Amino acid sequence: MAPNSPLSSKAIDPRDRLILALDVPSLEEGKRWVELLGDSVQFYKLGLQFLMTGQYFDMVDWLGARGKKVFADIKFFDVPETVKSAVEGLARRNVAFATVHGNDPMMEAAASVKGNLKILAVTVLTSLDRGDLDDLGFQCDPEELVLSRARRAIKLGCDGVISSGLEASRLRAELGQNFLVVSPGIRPVENKPNDDQKRTVDVEDAFRLGADYIVVGRPIRKAPDPRAKAEEMQARIAALFQA
């Protein structure tokens, strides 16, 4: 690794750095995907779609029994005391990461009861660009908003942030290495124009810019051979971190 490189030096198993977004509508389909992917994926993100199955924690427990890691991407956003209670309950489950998408008191409440659970603050969703932020009333550049939110989240006790790889290098340059950067919106260079992810990067770029983990969904699940695609990404990640 080159001096001052943003490439992550944290002691993370390279195969854990790929997180699969398990955005499916049922427990049965979720299990089918995990069995199909086998040991090509070790870490799974369960988001709001899976929450609506009514079997969220059945899947959490099922994954845990198979030695898989779980990222609970629920994006807690509520009054601080409610966020605190929710995180306190989640911290008793077999979950590695959870997201909070709120203001300072919400993030502080979550961090105060996290235990071994890693709290990740959502900065700016990767489906939003400058035009979307203008529509929402944020009169600033996405990179500046990401940096501002990340700085506050880390100060309040969060373990890291969810951020596009596009902003990861500046986060590392200004805030250092002592926090996690998890980057969704991973797409091939030839990303389709009708994709709802706008601020995207490729696998290698995300890590070279400073991400510790990447979250990948459709590029694997919609591949002709999803397991082969996951293994291909794992090989690319391994090549980066064994260099």
Query: Residue-wise pLDDT tens for the chain (243 aa)?
Result: 444 678 999 999 999 999 999 999 999 999 999 999 999 999 999 999 999 999 999 999 999 999 999 999 999 999 999 999 999 999 999 999 999 988 899 999 999 999 999 999 987 655 545 555 455 455 566 777 778 889 999 999 999 999 888 888 889 999 999 999 999 877 554 444 444 444 468 899 999 999 999 999 999 999 999 999 999 999 999 999 985
Dihedral angle computed from the Cα positions of residues 177, 189, 194 and 50, in that order, rounded to the nearest 10 degrees = -50
Give the chain's domains with CATH numbers: 14-241 (3.20.20.70)
pLDDT at 167: 84
The angle, 0 to 180 degrees and rounded to 10, between the axes of the packed helices 142-155 and 165-175 is: 50
What pLDDT is recorded for position 185? 79
pLDDT at 168: 87
Which pLDDT score is estimated for 199?
44
Q: Coil, strand, or helix at residue 210?
A: coil
In the residue annotation, 75 being an active-site residue is answered as: yes
Task: State the distance between the two ends of the chain, measured CA to CA, in whole angstroms.
Answer: 7
Selecting among 75, 84, 114, 118, the annotated active-site residue is 75
- Structural tokens at position 231: 């293994």
Would you state the pLDDT for residue 195?
44
Q: What tokens were used for 5? A: 């490189």
Give the pLDDT score at 135. 57
